[in-house]
Amino acid sequence: MNAIRGLVAVIGALAVTRLLVQPLEITLVNALAQQPLRTPGDFAAVLNSPLMMAARLLYTGVAAILGGYVAARIAAHDPMRYAMVAAAFQAIVLIWGFTAGYALPTPIWMRLALVVVSTMGILAGGAVRSAVAALPQGPRGE
């Protein structure tokens, strides 16, 4: 049963991270665009603007922290192990997407920064949940 719970934890972390980042990214790019976006190149031009790249690092980090927390919360037994697995899968998926040509053109340094921020964020979220779970439990209702 722990293996299934761990698998759900990893999938949950990746889903939370992606479901927060993707819609927010699309919304922000469309909001910052000076004109209607007609091609992927138009989208990439706004996505790679300095303001948007700074925002991407910020919201990717926040979403990753939440995803790591979710993974550790679901995988009650050995939560950091499953946060580490989720972080590894996140890094693999991002690197694969960037190198396989599925991602829009993005500067190399930004690709590396997104991999680092998302991986470290998931680990940080898992660490926060692990620390909370390690706190002594007081009587309920106080």
- Residues 32-67 have pLDDT tens digits of 988 888 888 888 889 999 999 999 999 999 999 999
Predicted confidence band of residue 140 (pLDDT cuts 50, 70, 90)? low
* Residue 33 included in any domain: yes
Helix (H, G, I), strand (E, B) or coil at 117: helix
C-alpha triplet 98, 66, 97: angle, nearest 5°: 10
Average pLDDT over residues 16-42: 90
Q: Which domain holds residue 76?
A: 2-133
* Residue 17 included in any domain: yes
**Structural domains in the chain (count):** 1
* Residue 142 included in any domain: no
* Residue 141 included in any domain: no
Predicted confidence band of residue 1 (pLDDT cuts 50, 70, 90)? low
Predicted confidence band of residue 2 (pLDDT cuts 50, 70, 90)? confident
Integer Cα distance of 126 and 131 in angstroms: 9
* Residue 138 included in any domain: no
Which has the minimum average pLDDT: 6-20, 77-91, 125-139? Answer: 125-139
pLDDT digits (tens, 9 = 90+) for 72-117: 999 888 889 999 999 999 999 999 988 887 777 888 999 999 999 9
Residue type, 101: G
* Residue 43 included in any domain: yes
* Residue 77 included in any domain: yes
